[in-house]
Amino acid sequence: MGRAPCCDKNGLKRGPWTTEEDQKLVDYIQKNGYGNWRTLPKNAGLQRCGKSCRLRWTNYLRPDIKRGRFSFEEEEAIIQLHSILGNKWSAIAARLPGRTDNEIKNYWNTHIRKRLLRMGIDPVTHMPRLDLLDLSTILNSSLCKTPSGPLSNVEQFHPSDVTSFNPQNCQLNEWQTNQIVPSLPEHYVPLSDYGYDRVYGSDQSNVDHPPSETSTFQSNGNSNFSSFQSVLSNISSASSSPTRFDSNSIKLTSSSTEEEKESYCSNLLKFNIPDMLDVNQFML
DNA sequence: AAAATTTCCAACCGCGAGTCC
DNA sequence: GGGACTCGCGGTTGGAAATTT
């Protein structure tokens, strides 16, 4: 698997690892530990570069790696963490023991990202997709005249709505105002336990997606974005608590199918965004 | 049954940060 | 101070497997 070897300059092997190579690497690390990746392959008798050895170890051979499908709880944690951390896969992986950054990144790109796109959510900003919103203005004029039509919810936004969005006008349902603590896996480690400053720096100027309190709208100049983040967080929180938000009596478990998960999330969008956001505020 | 297409994910690439001399 | 080197991260690739036509 993976890309074909493209550089055999130093006579070093590339491409997929064999079981023999894996065994050599594991044996060496078990005896000597890992440290200097540059000299490790030579000492271990491997015709590989140190980088390749490090990747193989950290992404595949490490004994504490949990393999297999992601549970719904893990998936939900990834979405929440991504909404805060962005593409900081290593930071996300640090909060999901047993999962590697590469694994999470792959899972995001192959599963979660696509699902969010289908749901009309921009996987980068975690906000309603502007391209769909723009398209909706065309569709709305001819196809969707009634508030209960198939494109009556997020599709009724216009790109300019995002910049004119005023969080003070948002109305939250009871479950949204009460639902604060998201349901995360047992091994989930709160951000605060890791020290926010260490992740973001004191001024947070290097943060792609600034963190926001889960249930509190902010009123500063950057409130539009963070408010959407809050809304998203609430949506995600609701999806994590079927007993609290159970409009269709759907119980999602780790064995739920992709279709069940998507259907459940789609229902959240269809029936709840208009309730928590006063859509009239967005109409031109 | 075979070909075409899509999905999945291990592995590679390039860059930036940190460290050492 | 700055060049060389190492390490780690995020983005991307491409072959195998799965699915569809």
* Confidence at residue A227, expressed as pLDDT on a 0 to 100 scale: 42
pLDDT for res A168: 35
A105 and A39 within one domain: no
Expressed as residue numbers, the domain containing A262 is 72-282
Shared domain for A57 and A84, answered yes or no, is: no
Same domain, residue pair A28 and A154 = no
CATH number at residue A36: 1.10.10
List, for residues A239-266, the tens digit of each pLDDT value: 333 333 333 333 455 455 555 555 555 4
Residue A67 domain flag: no
Cα dihedral sign, A56-A59-A63-A67: negative
Q: Which of the pair, A173 or A65, is modelled with greater confidence?
A: A65
A244 and A212 in a common domain: yes
Q: Are residues A94 and A181 in the same domain?
A: yes
CA/C1' separation A31–B4 (Å): 49
pLDDT of A258:
55
Q: How far apart are CA A114 and CA A121, in angstroms?
A: 10
At a CB cut-off of 8 Å and minimum separation 6, what does A153 contact? A269, A270, A273, A274, A279
* Cβ atoms < 10 Å from Cβ of A175: 17
Q: Does A181 share its domain with A147?
A: yes
Q: How confident is the model at residue A14 (pLDDT cuts 50, 70, 90)?
A: confident
pLDDT mean over A12-35: 87
Nearest residue to C13 via alpha carbon and C1': A3
How many angstroms separate the CA of A217 from the C1' of C12? 37
Do A34 and A123 fall within a single domain? Answer: no
Q: Is the pLDDT of residue A174 over 80?
A: no
Is residue A76 located within the same domain as residue A198?
yes
**pLDDT at residue A147 greater than cutoff 60:** no
Q: Could you check: is the Cβ of residue A15 within 7 Å of any atom of nucleic acid strand B?
A: yes
